């Protein structure tokens, strides 16, 4: 059980500019301390946010940048004050690796809303070292932001749960929407959306997938277990579904109108935004007022919720639907992700890839 006093180097795949093209990049991991865990990355999911950040879509990217925040790895060494983990544990790391620990969000187990949170990549740690993500051989992470992966869960299946899974679980948990018998909508059937269907169904909900076309209808109904499927451009179908849903989890990460979906909500229904969009959304106020409806947002989930979600998925035998790729395919995978050409999440086999080529 070393103190991790020595700095280490690792190789990851980094974007150098807003082209978003990734290539090998060797760098020094941040200085480590007694509460840190040294993790060998096994695999890492590819999230739409990785695409936004690599291409500077949000106007806040710093280069070189190693993306990746759905990380599953093996603990190789722990600091002297680490109590939660042992060498050999299989663990997960999500979107956040630091917080202030003394604000209201931090004190209430909502550290993802801390104004001083530290992102897994494209940020700076407390020692001034840039944070880099999971498209790399290894990471050093504070034990607070590491979770144990329940025994028996396949690492590559777990990776997307660390962002996509908890992004759905957290609002259902927070807004009291975990009881059976609710009628929910999942808008957009990508990485987050497909886990939304699975998790909501496992909670006993009647689930309607809402999509822009019918090309995923068979998959939604027959493979994911959704109960209904709505095409947003089908005026007749949308009209029939008016006032039918208790909530909609909106996973769409690009601009889209809100009014068609607000009309689907019952009295006191909630439209929960989870997609990162860099253009303003619009709606007319009567769409909300005449039904006491809510437009709200939810951002990933807390470490506590992440642990709860993993245990829930283990109990219900829920897995993500993935396409596993090697690191040398990463740029093609990002291009395909931008075209929505993946069912439903790419996961990079980091440990099985040659990172320096």
- Return the pLDDT at 177: 97
- Is there a contact between 68 and 135 (Cβ–Cβ < 8 Å)? yes
Task: Report how far residue 25's alpha carbon sits from residue 210's, in angstroms, rounded to the nearest whole number.
Answer: 40
pLDDT in tens, 14-61: 999 999 999 999 999 987 789 999 999 999 999 989 999 999 998 999
* Interatomic CA distance for residues 339 and 334, integer angstroms: 9
Domains in the chain, ordered, with CATH? 9-163+321-349 (3.90.180.10), 167-297 (3.40.50.720)
pLDDT score of 346: 96
Sole residue written with tokens 């957009």: 188
Enter the pTM of the model.
Answer: 0.94
**Residue 106 Cα to chain centre, angstroms:** 20
Query: What's residue 126's pLDDT?
Result: 84
Write out residues in the chain with pLDDT < 70, as ranges: 1-6
pLDDT at 6: 62
How do residues 203-252 score in pLDDT, each as one tens digit? 999 999 999 999 999 999 999 999 999 999 999 999 999 999 999 999 99
Closest residue by Cα to residue 135 from 350, 353, 351: 350
pLDDT of amino acid 5:
55
């Amino acid at each position: 059980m070393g103190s991790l006093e020595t700095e280490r180097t690792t190789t990851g795949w980094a974007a150098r500019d807003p082209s978003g093209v990734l290539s090998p990049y060797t760098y020094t991991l941040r200085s480590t301390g007694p509460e840190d865990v040294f993790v060998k990355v096994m695999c890492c999911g590819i999230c739409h946010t990785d695409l936004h950040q690599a291409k500077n879509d949000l106007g806040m990217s710093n280069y070189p940048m190693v993306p990746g925040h759905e990380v599953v790895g093996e603990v190789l060494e722990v600091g002297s004050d680490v109590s939660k983990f042992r060498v050999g544990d299989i663990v997960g790391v999500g979107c956040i690796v630091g917080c202030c620990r003394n604000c209201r969000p931090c004190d209430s187990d909502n550290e993802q809303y801390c104004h001083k949170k530290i992102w897994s990549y494209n940020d700076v740690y407390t020692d001034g070292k840039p944070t880099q993500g999971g498209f790399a051989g290894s990471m050093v992470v504070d034990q607070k932001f590491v979770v144990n992966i329940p025994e028996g869960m396949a690492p590559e299946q777990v990776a997307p749960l660390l962002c996509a899974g908890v992004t759905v679980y957290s609002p259902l948990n927070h807004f009291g929407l975990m009881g059976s018998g609710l009628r929910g909508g999942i808008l957009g059937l990508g990485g987050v959306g497909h886990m939304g269907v699975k998790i909501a169904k496992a909670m006993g909900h009647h689930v309607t997938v809402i999509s822009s076309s019918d090309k995923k209808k068979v998959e939604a109904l027959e493979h994911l277990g959704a109960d209904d499927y709505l095409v947003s451009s089908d005026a007749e179908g949308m009209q029939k579904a008016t006032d039918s849903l208790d909530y909609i989890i909106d996973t769409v990460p690009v601009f889209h109108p809100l009014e068609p979906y607000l009309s689907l909500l019952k009295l006191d229904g909630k439209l929960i935004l989870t997609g990162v969009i860099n253009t303003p959304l619009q709606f007319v106020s009567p769409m909300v007022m005449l039904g006491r409806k809510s437009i709200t947002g939810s951002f990933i989930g807390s470490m506590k919720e992440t642990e709860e979600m993993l245990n829930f998925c283990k109990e219900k035998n829920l897995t993500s639907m993935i396409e596993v790729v090697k690191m040398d395919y990463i740029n093609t995978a990002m291009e395909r992700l931008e075209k929505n050409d993946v069912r439903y999440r790419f996961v990079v086999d980091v440990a099985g890839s040659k990172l320096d080529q």
